[in-house]
Structure 1
Amino acid sequence: MTENNPVRINKYLSICGVTSRRGAEKLIEQQRVTINDHTAKVGELIDSTKDKVLVDGTEVKPADTHVYVVLNKPSRVMTTLHDPFKRRTVRQLLKRLNARVYPIGRLDYDTEGVLLMTNDGELAYRLTHPKFQVPRLYEAKVKGKFMERDSARIAAGIKLEDGARGHARVRILRHDEKSSTIRLVLTEGRKREVKQLCKLVGHPVVTLTRLEFGGITCRGIESGHWRELTIAEVNNLKGLVGLGK
Structure 2
Amino acid sequence: MERLQKVIAHAGIASRRKAEELILEGKVSVNGSVVKELGVKVGASDKISVNGVPLEREQPVYFLLYKPRGVISSVSDDKGRKVVTDYFTHIEQRIYPVGRLDYDTSGALLLTNDGEFANLLMHPSSEIEKVYVAKIKGIPSKEKLKSLERGIRLEDGKTAPAKVKLMSFDKKAETAIVELIIHEGRNRQVRRMFEAIGHPVLKLKRERYGTLTLHGLNAGEAKELTPHEVKQLRVLAMKKKNK
TM-score band by shorter chain is 0.7 to 0.9
**Structure 2: how far apart are the matches of 1:150 and 1:159?**
13
Q: 2:232 aligns with which of 231, 236, 242?
A: 236
Alpha-carbon spacing, 1:153–1:45, altered in 2? closer, same or farther (3 Å): farther
Matches within 5 A, 1:1-245: 4=4, 12=8, 14-17=9-12, 46-47=27-28, 49=30, 50=34, 52-53=49-50, 59=53, 61=55, 63-177=57-171, 178-242=174-238
| TM-superposed deviation, 1:148 | 1.7
Give deviations 1:62-116, integer Å, cap 9, x for gaps.
5331100000100000000011111110111111222111111110000001001
Bigger radius of gyration? 2
| TM-superposed deviation, 1:165 | 3.1
Identity of aligned residues (%): 34
Give deviations 1:157-211, integer Å, cap 9, x for gaps.
1111223435421111001330000101101101111000001011100000001
What's the TM-score once normalised by structure 1's chain length? 0.78
**Structure 2: how far apart are the matches of 1:166 and 1:148?**
19
**Structure 1: how far apart are the matches of 2:152 and 2:145?**
11
Contact 1:136 1:185 in 2 (8 A): yes
Contact 1:67 1:120 in 2 (8 A): yes
Q: Which runs of 5+ in 1 are unaligned?
A: 26-40
Contact 2:11 2:58 in 1 (8 A): no
Contact 2:133 2:180 in 1 (8 A): yes
Count of residues in Structure 1 that have an aligned counterpart in Structure 2:
214
Q: Which is further off, 143-152 or 165-174?
A: 165-174
- Name 1:38's counterpart in structure 2: none
| TM-superposed deviation, 1:149 | 1.2
What's the TM-score once normalised by structure 2's chain length? 0.79
| TM-superposed deviation, 1:45 | 6.7
